[in-house]
Structure 1
Amino acid sequence: MTEQQPTTLERIHLAARAEFREKGFPSASLRSIVKSLGMTTGAFYGYYPSKEALYEALVGPHYDYLIRRFRQAQSEFAHLPHHRQPDELGSFSGGCMFDMLHYAYAHLEECQLLLTASEGTRFAGLVDEMVEIEVTATHDYMAVLGELGRPAPRLDRRLEHILITGMFRTFFELILHAMPLEEAENYLRQMRDFYTAGWLEVMGQS
Structure 2
Amino acid sequence: MTTEHATTLERIHQAAKEEFLNKGFQAASLRNIVKSVGMTTGAFYGYYKSKEELFEALAGDAYRFIINRYQDAHREFAGLPKKRQMEVMGEFSGSCLFDILHYAYEHLDELKLILCCAEGTRFARLIDEMAETEAESTHAYQRVLEELGRPSPRIDSTLEHILITGMLHTFFELVIHEMPLADAENYVEEMRAFYTAGWMKIMGQ
TM bin, normalised by shorter chain, reads over 0.9
Q: Paired residue for 2:50?
A: 50
Contact 2:24 2:119 in 1 (8 A): yes
Q: Paired residue for 2:96?
A: 96
**Cα distance between partner residues in 1 of 2:10 and 2:170:** 32
Q: Paired residue for 1:20?
A: 20
- Per-residue deviation, 1:193: 1.5
**Cα distance between partner residues in 2 of 1:179 and 1:168:** 16
**Cα distance between partner residues in 1 of 2:76 and 2:198:** 23
* Offset from partner CA, 1:76-118 (integer Å, 9 cap, x none): 0001111111001112111100000001111111111110111
**Cα distance between partner residues in 2 of 1:13 and 1:181:** 26
Q: Paired residue for 1:192?
A: 192
**Cα distance between partner residues in 1 of 2:153 and 2:98:** 30
Q: Paired residue for 2:183?
A: 183
* Residue ranges of structure 2 left out of the alignment (5+ in a row): 1-5
Kindly indicate whether residue 63 of structure 2 is the aligned counterpart of residue 68 of structure 1.
Answer: no
The residue identity in structure 2 corresponding to 1:82 is K
Q: Paired residue for 2:3?
A: none
**Cα distance between partner residues in 1 of 2:179 and 2:162:** 26
- Per-residue deviation, 1:42: 1.4
Number of aligned residues: 200
- Per-residue deviation, 1:202: 0.7
**Cα distance between partner residues in 2 of 1:76 and 1:60:** 24
**Cα distance between partner residues in 2 of 1:51 and 1:132:** 28
Give the TM-score normalised by the residue count of structure 1.
0.95
**Cα distance between partner residues in 2 of 1:154 and 1:56:** 39
Q: Paired residue for 1:116?
A: 116
- Per-residue deviation, 1:137: 0.3
Contact 2:90 2:193 in 1 (8 A): no
Contact 2:26 2:119 in 1 (8 A): yes
* Offset from partner CA, 1:153-173 (integer Å, 9 cap, x none): 111111011110101111111
1:139-158 equivalence runs, <5 A: 139-158=139-158
Q: Paired residue for 1:3?
A: none
- Per-residue deviation, 1:151: 1.1
Query: For 1:7, what is the secondary structure of its paired residue?
Result: helix
- Per-residue deviation, 1:130: 0.5
**Cα distance between partner residues in 2 of 1:183 and 1:42:** 47
- Per-residue deviation, 1:46: 1.3
* Residue ranges of structure 1 left out of the alignment (5+ in a row): 1-5
Identity %: 63
**Cα distance between partner residues in 2 of 1:156 and 1:52:** 37
- Per-residue deviation, 1:192: 1.2
The residue identity in structure 1 corresponding to 2:53 is A
- Per-residue deviation, 1:58: 0.3
Q: Paired residue for 2:77?
A: 77
Query: For 2:48, what is the secondary structure of its paired residue?
Result: coil
Q: Paired residue for 1:37?
A: 37
**Cα distance between partner residues in 2 of 1:194 and 1:84:** 20
